[in-house]
Amino acid sequence: MTAAQIVEVAAVFVAASVLSAVAGFGFGLMSVPLMSLAVDVRQAVVLSTMVGLGVTTIQAVQWRRHADRGVLRRTVLAAYLGMPFGYWLFVHVEARWLKLALGVAVLAAVVLLVRRIDLRDAGPGLDYAAGLVSGVLNTSLSTNGPPLAFALQAKGMEPNAFRGTISAIFLSCNVASFALFASRGYVTRSALVTVLVALPAVVVGLLLGGRLRPHVDAKRFRALVLALLTVAGIMAIATA
């Protein structure tokens, strides 16, 4: 990667880290579409996974007491089942078709959330379904947040529980996806250098997001989630 590309990637990581610190998700959702404007989409997916592993580790530890353990177990189990299929898509399907499908699905989820669909009585099936789709998206586009955000919001989960649960899910999934990419030779020396150079940008973003988070109440949190999903959906379609 060139110096200019590394600078662009670092700037993306700042923005993605701020959003992730405030909302509890959105790192891959924001970073992959933006990075794909500067680097190859598959390279963007791997970089997002590598840096996201560090971000989600910090957030999972920070919010661990608020996580819903039952939702966490069911969702991670289903996500692991979906990851091999997501990796197959990552290798064999053109990224633009994946991004187009993702964008359409995300915007459809936004419409359902705006209509305040209530799935609190959906049972464990919702966790398994969201986890499965999340696993596929995790290893194909490193943007596994939308189905999880939709499911947790539809369950009426309050902000701290939302952040704690989704961060723990992300951490569990990022460990597996990183191991998969590393075993297949996608974690290159160039990728490692880029991640190391960009780490200070991630720290800055997390610190800024931490300062903003106390000012986001439940109503603003819901609006932020909806706005983030909408932007991500439009970006995915536009960059496809």
Digit-coded pLDDT (tens) for 31-79:
887 787 778 878 888 998 899 888 889 889 988 899 999 999 999 999 9
Residue-wise pLDDT tens digits, 73-83: 999 999 999 99
The answer, as to whether pTM is greater than 0.85, is no
Whether 41 and 6 have beta carbons less than 8 Å apart is answered as no
Number of domains in the chain: 1
Tell me the per-residue pLDDT of 219-231, one tens digit each, with 9 for 90 and over. Answer: 777 677 678 778 7
Continuous H helices in the chain: 3-23, 27-35, 41-62, 69-92, 95-114, 124-141, 145-154, 159-183, 189-212, 218-239
pLDDT digits (tens, 9 = 90+) for 129-171: 999 999 998 888 777 877 888 888 888 888 889 889 999 999 9
CB 181 within 8 A of CB 187: yes
| pLDDT for res 218 | 64
Give residue 43's domain range.
Answer: 3-239
Q: Considering the chain, what is the average pLDDT of its residues? A: 84
- Residue 38, classed as helix, strand or coil, is coil
Asked whether residue 116 carries a pLDDT value surpassing 70, the answer given is no
151, two tokens: 């499911």
